[in-house]
Structure 1
Amino acid sequence: MEGETLWIIDDDMVSQFAMTYKIGQVHPHYNITTFYTVKEALDHLRKCWKSKKGLPDKLLLDLGLPDLDGWDFLMELEKIGVNISPFDIYIVSAFTNSTDRKRAKSHPLIKDYFDKPLNKNAVDRIFA
């Protein structure tokens, strides 16, 4: 498991810190990279996709982001050619919205949906 990578896409610094800290307590070997915007993450992802290097093993995605949101990120993944994700994508959102939950459960790229803040049970499920 050494050297595995997790990306967090969330515009809230406190949420990023809390997720990084919680995951680091249980899985300190994971390399965690954070992004504040979908554009920033997509730019990095495109570089990794071309070289087939540096892709994350897991990705935590907030839905409520400015400019491009989490759903836009998923649409862009499909445009890049990611129809079956080479990494596990988990939605982590502060807003419990039944429409988003239903949409996430039926989306082929999304593995699961969690409320913020992540608790130990959620982290255990992500890394099960």
Structure 2
Amino acid sequence: MRPFVLVIDDDMVSQFATKYVVSQCAQDALIYMCDNGEDALLELSQLLNSGEGFPDVIFLDLVMPGMGGWEFIEEFQKIPGLPKKTKIYILSAFTSSKDRNKAKNNSYIAGFFDKPITRNIVNSIFPSCML
């Protein structure tokens, strides 16, 4: 099965690094990129309405202009008909114990990782894609 990944990050270097590592581990992955939470919600809405599928995994930055990661998660939880299979992984360059605890207590968040994401982390998320 082809993994479907959405990367939400305002930093182009982080986007590139995440896309690169995911594509190295899951070569057939379908990877969408969004620069902020607003664009990501719009993209997700269009995907749901079109029936094209929905991401298996969302890699989410917390600190972005406009709608940040926590605000995205609040709105994400309100999406009607939200598939339960989607797992959100926080990728952050700024780690705080407050954010980590908040992530642990949110059922939509499957993990919290420091940037940049590593191949080992991606392999643990997509074990069937290990090379």
* Cα drift, residue 82 of structure 1: 6.4
Report how far residue 81 of structure 1 moved. 3.7
Cα distance in 1, alignment partners of residues 60 and 97 from structure 2: 17
- The answer as to whether partners of 1:6 and 1:32 remain within 8 angstroms in 2 is yes
Tell me by how many angstroms 1:121 deviates.
2.0
Q: Secondary structure at the match of 1:79?
A: coil
Which deviations, in whole Å up to 9, do the C-alpha atoms of 1:65-114 show, x marking residues without a partner? 11110011111012224677431111111111110000001101001111
Contact preservation (8 Å) 2:54, 2:83: no
Gap runs ≥5 in structure 2: none
With over 3 angstroms needed to count, the CA separation of the structure-2 counterparts of 1:73 and 1:85, relative to structure 1, is farther
Q: Which runs of 5+ in 1 are unaligned?
A: none
- TM-score (normalizing by structure 1): 0.90
CA RMSD in angstroms comes to 1.6
The sequence identity of aligned pairs, in percent, is 41
SS at match of 1:91: strand
Paired residue type of 1:46: S
Question: Alpha carbons of 1:82 and 1:91: their partners in 2 closer, same or farther (altered >3 Å)?
Answer: farther
CA-to-aligned-CA distance 1:7-35 (integer Å, 9 cap, x gap): 00000000000111111111111011100
Residue 25 (structure 1) aligned with residue 21 (structure 2): no
Distance 2:71 2:62 in 1: 9
- Answer yes or no: is 1:119 the counterpart of 2:118: yes
CA distance in 2, matches of 1:81, 1:75: 13
* Distance in 1 of aligned mates of 2:46 and 2:25: 29
Letter in 1 for 2:60: L
More displaced 10-residue stretch of structure 1: 80-89 or 55-64: 80-89
- 2:96 corresponding residue in structure 1: 97
The one-letter code matched in structure 2 to 1:86 is K
CA distance in 2, matches of 1:84, 1:108: 14
Name the counterpart of 1:108: 107
2:72 is the alignment partner of 1:73: yes
Q: Select between 92-101 and 78-87 the one with higher mean Cα deviation.
A: 78-87
Deviations 1:35-76 (A, max 9, x none): 001111101111222344331111100111111100111110
Using the size of structure 2 for normalisation, the TM-score is 0.88
